[in-house]
Every structure is written in structure tokens, then in C-alpha cells.
Structure 1
Amino acid sequence: MSTQNLKRQSINPPPTQVFYDNFHFSQATRVGDMIWVSGQVGIDGAMKPGEGIEEQAQLAFQALKSVLEAAGASLADVVELMTFHTEMQTDMPTFAKVKDQYFPDRYPSWTAIGISQLALPDLRVEIRAVAVAGCGDA
């Protein structure tokens, strides 16, 4: 692998540039084929949390998909998911059904963690991921 492939790239799709500018973090970082995606939450384009766990999970997975595409990858390239839940006991069955819509087979490794709060009071889930670009094609 050449040193060109090992350069660190910050990935910030245009709608997320505000996070980079105001909060000083990238939506994802790519080095070679490895991509580390920051936690994605269930907010809409107006920065409003979705209603309930199903809508928030859909929004968070759509954001994850968008960031991966901007990084040159897809959901099929995800090798690890880590999810954070404020209402783990009650939300997990619904969240798992939504997750299975985005990962219907070749399931990535997954760690789910119960926590007391996220960045906004109404957020119920945050999803971060690690992907290897191109591995989903194999």
C-alpha cells in the first residue's frame, strides 16, 4: 500500500459541515480502506429529533449510510456497529427490527450499550460504525 493510500481524510458531507465547524469533529475519518464513522443520531434536516425510537433509528441509519457513501463505502462494508441507547430495555426490539432493514444479512459485529443520556435530551439512540471500503463486495 502506498503512502498516498495511508493519508488521513476527514469526511464531512455538506449538510454535516456545521458539526465540523462548530464542534470540531468529522463525521468519519478514512485511512486507506478503513473508515471510522462518528456516532450518528436520529435528527432530521432541521436538527429535530425524530418521534420515538423507530423514527430516530431510521434517521440515524440513513445518516450512517450517507456518511459511508461520502467516504466511498456502503452499509455492506460495515464490519462493526456500536449503538448507545437511553431506553435499552423498551427500545431494543424496535431498534433491532430497523437495524435488520439496513443489515438484512452478513451481519456486522455489534455492541449495544445502555446509557443515561445523549447530546440532546430527546435523543434515544446513537450509532457509530467501522467499515472497510470494498469488503462488502466480496
Structure 2
Amino acid sequence: MPRSEPVFPANRHALYETHGYSAAIRSGDLLFVSGQVGTREDGTPEPDFAKQVDLAFENLKAVLEAAGCTLSDIVDVTSFHTDPESQLETVLAAKTRAFPAAPYPNWTAIGVNWLSGFDFEIKVIARIPTD
């Protein structure tokens, strides 16, 4: 059985240390990425929602890159939204920029009432390229 190993991006933000979790765990050829939020380097939320979503995707890309992956390696997405109805247009625009053409990953969006000061979070499972 493969051992699980933590993965961190080069410019890891303070939340990993503050809350004691790994950005991602590599297990075999799979990468399980923890929920990424629109945090600044000091761990505080970006107050502008559109920028917060863009930062969450940038943080996601940095974690994927640290494991040798890209957005095209993602197979499963779960996103969390504090106000899905009013946030949908902004999130869909970011989603379209991240995944402009098929094949698209499967995606589950969940409305929540608390994200520790954030309004959007995205977690994924990716297959790590073996070439």
C-alpha cells in the first residue's frame, strides 16, 4: 500500500500552520487537495468576493503544481459557498476560466453558513500524471 505524503506549495499561506493541516496529501497516483480559500499570505481573507474566488483558484493551482499537476488533472471538485444564489455568477465565471473546454471535472457545490471568515472554498481530487 502506498504511503501518504503531504504536499505544500512553495508560498504556503499561514492557515496550514495555524490550523495544522496539509495543503494536499499524495496517495499513490491520487492527490487529495484540502479546501483552498481566497487567503492572503498572512492567512486573512480577501474581502472582495471576486478576488477571493480568484485567489482560491490561484492557491489551488499552486498546490496542484507542487505535486506536478495542473487543473486538467482534476477529476472531482467540491465547492462551498456562503451565499450560493448571489455568488453563482462570479463562481461560474471563475469556473469557466479554469475549465474552458470539455472534458470538465465532476463538480458538487454546497451551500454553507460558515467558512471561518471566507465566502468560498474549493477542494479537489486529482490524478497525478505518471509520465
Fold equivalence (TM over 0.5): yes
Give, in whole Å, the separation in 2 of the partners of 1:51 and 1:17. Answer: 16
Give, in whole Å, the separation in 1 of the partners of 2:99 and 2:40. Answer: 22
CA change 1:46–1:25 in 2 (3 A) is closer
What runs of 5+ residues in structure 1 fail to find an aligned partner?
Answer: none
SS of equivalent residue, structure 1 residue 15: coil
Aligned residues: 130
Correspondent of 1:118 among 112, 115, 118: 115
Give, in whole Å, the separation in 1 of the partners of 2:39 and 2:16. Answer: 16
Question: 1 or 2, which has the higher helix percentage?
Answer: 1
For residue 81 of structure 2, what is the aligned residue in structure 1?
A: 85
Q: Which amino acid aligns with 2:106?
A: S
SS of equivalent residue, structure 1 residue 22: helix
For residue 22 of structure 2, what is the aligned residue in structure 1?
A: 26
Identity across matched positions, percent: 37
**Residue 133 of structure 1: how far off its partner (Å):** 1.3
Matches within 5 A, 1:101-112: 101-105=97-101, 106-112=103-109
TM-score by length of 1: 0.85
Correspondent of 2:123 among 116, 121, 128: 128
TM-score by length of 2: 0.89
Segments ≥4 residues shifted beyond 4 Å:
none
CA change 1:44–1:85 in 2 (3 A) is same
Task: Report the more deviating stretch, 39-48 or 70-79.
Answer: 39-48
